[in-house]
Amino acid sequence: MARWITILLAILGLGIAGWAVATNRQQMPDLPPVREPSINPFGRGIAALGIAEPATRTVGLLPPEPGLVMGVSVEVGQAVKKGDVLFILDPRPLEAELIKAQASAKVSADELARLRSLPRAEDVEPVRAAAARSRAIEQERAESLERVLNAGTQSAANEWDIRRERLTLDQAKAATAQAESELARVLAGASKEELAVAQSQAEAGAAQVRAITVLLDRQNVRAPRAGTILRRNVEIGEFVGTDASRPALILGDLTSMHVRAQVDEEDIGLLQRAQSEGTTMRVVGRLRGAIVEEFPLTLVRIEPFARPKTNLTSGTTERVDTRVVDVVFAVDKAPPTGLVPGQAVDVFVDVD
């Protein structure tokens, strides 16, 4: 009996719960959208998502090699000219190499100057005196041989004495020839070959100094062209690398702006046909956000290369496997609120 009562009570509880839910259902109000959706104003038009960019594109600046940042000369929004120093890497390792190269170059230059100064008087006189002494000794040995020969005719000297004097004279003649050759070498100075080698060594030392000087100048990262600093990702004391995904600075010329739109591959044929037929196309760009502004655009070029879509709008009907073609439009007149690089712009093209 108790079991049946429990079952009846459970069924009764479920019924009461269902009745409570059914009678207390509240109608949720329809909330208006935060902002009006961007709708294509043309009946037969192409809609695409564009990204604003400078007409000359942006430049991500990287150092020529990884290094420690010793100074930053620019701020975001600052206008720079071509060749202006933007930031400086640590030059001390190269400065140390330059000191050694300059010392080596000086040694080579001094050696070349020494060879060019030959012969020196202080080197010539001792050699000249040695040659004169050798000639005197040779004369003495010749006279001694003559005396021994005369004595031999009178049987006062034997063959051994004559032979010994001849050998002594030959030694004196050889010493004289050596001394005179040494004198001629000293008087001639450095040879052409020695001067050529020394000249090459001096030039190599000077070239090494110039090469390190060029590398030192590369530590000053300069602006490749005139423009405005759009972003700064470097500070004094940081170690910067050469990763292109995170440039130290981003530079762009804001005097003229373009919008790069990714047009669906299924719609690009309409745009190409209108361009080939010379049809006047009306193109407008529309800013997103709290303030919606439209501004005119002009077709600049269609880049003939299709690629996977990368700029997504988060729309529920958008396919991520779509391939798109980049189409560049010139901004004829910027909107009153301005246009900054990287800003998303809805682009609409009338191809009717």
Residues 188 and 292 in one domain: no
Helical spans, DSSP H, in 117-189:
121-153, 159-188
Place of tokens 């900054």: 340
Residue 31 within any structural domain of the chain: no
Residue 38 within any structural domain of the chain: no
Measured between alpha carbons, how far is residue 186 from residues 117, 125, 128, 178, 196 in Å? 12, 10, 9, 12, 18
Residues 206 and 111 in one domain: yes
How far is residue 265's CA from residue 101's CA, in Å, rounded to a whole number? 60
CB-CB contact of 328 with 258 (8 Å) = yes
Residues 180 and 76 in one domain: no
Structural domain count, the chain: 3
pLDDT of residue 309: 77
pLDDT tens-digit profile of 287-307? 987 778 889 999 999 998 888
Domain housing 115 = 98-214
Residues 226 and 85 in one domain: yes
How far is residue 112's CA from residue 189's CA, in Å, rounded to a whole number? 12
Domain of 235, CATH number, reads 2.40.50.100
Q: Indicate if the pLDDT at residue 314 is higher than 60.
A: no
Residues 237 and 260 in one domain: no
Residue 291 within any structural domain of the chain: yes
Residues 68 and 50 in one domain: no
> How many beta carbons lie within 10 A of that of residue 119, not counting itself?
15
Residues 135 and 149 in one domain: yes
pTM of the model: 0.68
What does the block give as tokens for 129? 């005196």
pLDDT tens-digit profile of 205-235? 999 999 999 999 999 999 999 999 999 999 9
